[in-house]
Structure 1
Amino acid sequence: MVQKAILLDDQAISRALTRIAHEIIERNKGIDNCILVGIKTRGIHLAKRLAERIEQIEGKPIVVGELDITLYRDDLTKKTADQEPLVKGSDIPVNITNMKVILIDDVLFTGRTVRAALDALIDIGRPAQIQLAVLADRGHRELPIRADFVGKNIPTSNSEKIVVELIEIDKVDQVSIHEK
């Protein structure tokens, strides 16, 4: 893969997350009865950053959970033909039944990751509502899924890939577009 351009640098990512935090608070009329749930791996780090911003704005913390969708993926047999899937486990510290769950992920593409996350959440409890926040939406949906909160819409071709790098994992904060 060849990098074509950096679409979001560290400051742009920070601004996008601050905007999403404000939108989450506004849409939910505060954060009562809300939980942020990051989809492993990068969604967790984005959820933690959103929680920090929401706490700065609201003056009180919001619960953050981690969701592992490995066993819910519809491409599990393709990805794990040679080896067992690596299950990292979910960590949802509260009962999500009757809560507003805001799922957090880095990139929304076909919608299949989100579908798997919905299945995983429903196995854990029955939320009052599930919302979706993503840093980047690149289009090309295969399922009828849309994000409620989007950092940046990035129209792409099928020959392109969006790469999200976060300081917690990759030692840099940036979103770039690559040619396959």
Structure 2
Amino acid sequence: MVARTVLDDADIARALRRIAHEVVESRRGDGRIVFLGIPTRGTALAERVHALVEAIEPGSSTVGSLDITLYRDDLGRTPTRAPAPTRIPPEGVDDAIVVLVDDVLYSGRTVRAALDALADHGRPRAVRLAVLVDRGHRELPIRADFVGKNLPSATSERVRVRLLDVDGVEEVTIEP
């Protein structure tokens, strides 16, 4: 069976615009927003959403990345991973509304690791989660606040996000 495309470049752009508007609306003008992308594709998505939010409300947000490699609970079962850089904006995360950004929400374990990593960098006022795709099958009680697309899938399937700035192509596919 061949992979099927479920989101193309226009769909992804539309989903990110919707997420940006939802973030602005949820903020209600209260507090600064720090977008922290979870490498690799979450960082690229965080930068895009940040740019969209800045177009709506200039100066309201900053962007960075949060490496979670050493906080994962599956380090012993997965191939060696090279840590990606963590970039926290100069003003930090204390008292900010932090929006963690990732490409796919699946079991919730990546988000749990991100919360642990974030705690080492300060104490945000609130933490929100934005994902391009929520495919269900949670193993932990975690839910996204901002979702580009809910995409029910079988556990045997693989949801693959590919972004132009990372992979040279812009699409979300489901592979058997």
Please indicate, yes or no, whether the TM-score normalized by the shorter chain is above 0.5.
yes
1: CA distance between counterparts of 2:30 and 2:52? 12
Q: 2:121 matched to which residue of 1?
A: 124
Task: Give the secondary-structure state (helix, strand or coil) at the position aligned to 1:14.
Answer: helix
Task: Spell out structure 1 runs of 4+ moving beyond 4 A.
Answer: none
Which residue number corresponds to residue 88 of structure 1?
Answer: 84
Q: Which ranges of structure 1 fall in alignment gaps of 5 or more residues? A: none
Q: CA deviation at 1:77?
A: 1.1
d(CA) in 2 for partners of 1:66, 1:54: 17
Q: Is the 8 A contact 2:32 2:61 kept in 1?
A: no
How far is 1:61 from its partner? 5.4
Amino acid at match of 2:10: Q
Query: 1:28 is matched with which residue?
Result: 27
Superposed displacement of residue 3, structure 1: 3.6
Provide the C-alpha distance between the structure 1 equivalents of 2:2 and 2:43, rounded to a whole number of angstroms. Answer: 25
Q: How big is the shift at 1:135? A: 0.1
**Contact 2:71–2:114 (CA under 8 A) maintained in structure 1:** yes
**Helix, strand or coil for the counterpart of 1:45?**
helix
The separation in 2 between residues aligned to 1:31 and 1:38, in whole angstroms, is 21
Q: Secondary structure at the match of 1:59?
A: coil
Mapped partners of 1:89, 1:72: distance in 2: 14
* 1:102 to partner: Cα distance: 0.3
TM-score by length of 2: 0.95
Change (3 A) 1:20 1:178: same
Residue 72 of structure 1 aligns with which residue? Answer: 71
Counterpart CA distance in 2 for 1:53 and 1:86 is: 30
TM-score, structure 1 as length reference: 0.93
Q: Which residue of 2 aligns with 1:37?
A: 36
Supply the distance in 2 between the matched residues of 1:68 and 1:171 (Cα, whole angstroms).
22
Which blocks of at least 5 consecutive residues in structure 2 are unaligned?
none
Percent identical: 51
**For the Cα contact (< 8 Å) 2:107–2:136, is it kept in 1?**
yes
What amino acid is the match of 2:5? I
Q: Distance in 1 between matches of 2:28 and 2:167?
A: 34
**C-alpha displacement at 1:32, in angstroms?**
3.6
2-structure distance, mates of 1:138, 1:131: 18
Partner of 1:169: 166
Distance 1:4 1:86 in 2: 28
Q: Distance in 1 between matches of 2:9 and 2:131?
A: 16
SS class of match (1:56): helix
Q: 1:59 to 1:88 in 2, by over 3 A?
A: closer
Counterpart secondary structure, 2:45: helix
Compute the RMSD of aligned alpha carbons.
1.3
